[in-house]
Amino acid sequence: MSSTPATALTPSPPVTTGRSARSPKKDARGPAVPEAARPLPELVLVHGLLMNRAAMWPLAMRLRAAGFKVHLFGYGTLFTPLAKNADLLANFVQQRCSEKAVLLGHSLGGLVCTQALRQHPKLRVTDLVLLGCPFQGAAAARVLRRVPGIGRWLGRPLHDWAVNANLATPAVRVRTLAGTKPQGVGRVLCDFQEPNDGTVTVAETWVEGAFARQELAVSHMGMLLSPEVAAQVLRWTLTC
């Protein structure tokens, strides 16, 4: 484990959880967090490919227990263009977040978050947290794309990202978390020769100029259930 600091369509009905941050709370789902000295940002969690909002519930509950107001954003991962999903997310943030917000995206969700900030640079977002996000593209996705009849199921947003990946990083603080436990479908498709989470390699999560980076021994899907990942997200978001 290492941590290196470095320099209009109507959206889907939201799932929102939250409570006041004035009192700390400790339970089996996450660590106790001291009383906040300043207002906490609202958190918007965005799921990955072939998932829905329910995939983010375990992490959302741990963040809620720490006093954060959490919103879960859902979107079409297969056929909806990346740009449209980005617009829907921006609209969701504008409608649901009354204070400054932090976007947290898992896998493809991180790409949707990034694109939303590119298309809407004045959005009330101060920080971007990317969990297992293939910012540099994904070798496993490239393999599947070459398989007849399967490539289209990878999702339109991933195809769109391949075209837009070289655009500028959004002007917010970006924090990335990569998994190093190689358990996932990617191992069946690719003979990974470098650290990976079973679906995405650590190198594929690289974001030039990221404010902070972290690696943890978790798999691509396991990071959504991991108390260690939740604790790291808390450490980051409490300083936003």
How many domains would you assign to the chain? 1
Expressed as residue numbers, the domain containing 117 is 2-16+38-237
Look at residue 30 and tell me if it is in a domain.
no
Higher pLDDT, 168 or 32: 168
pLDDT digit string, tens, across residues 74-86: 999 888 899 999 9
Is residue 67 over pLDDT 70?
A: yes
Question: What pLDDT shows up at residue 23?
Answer: 42
Look at residue 151 and tell me if it is in a domain.
yes
Q: What is the pTM of this model?
A: 0.80
Phi, psi of 193 (to 5 degrees): -110, 15
CATH number at 87 reads: 3.40.50.1820
Cβ burial, residue 122 (10 Å; 0-12/13-18/19+): exposed
Look at residue 24 and tell me if it is in a domain.
no
Higher pLDDT, 167 or 136: 136
Average pLDDT in the chain: 82
Stretch 146-168: mean pLDDT, rounded?
65
Is residue 216 over pLDDT 90?
A: yes
Cβ-contact 196, 223 below 8 angstroms: no
Look at residue 62 and tell me if it is in a domain.
yes
Give the model's confidence band at 99: pLDDT under 50 very low, under 70 low, under 90 confident, else very high.
Answer: confident
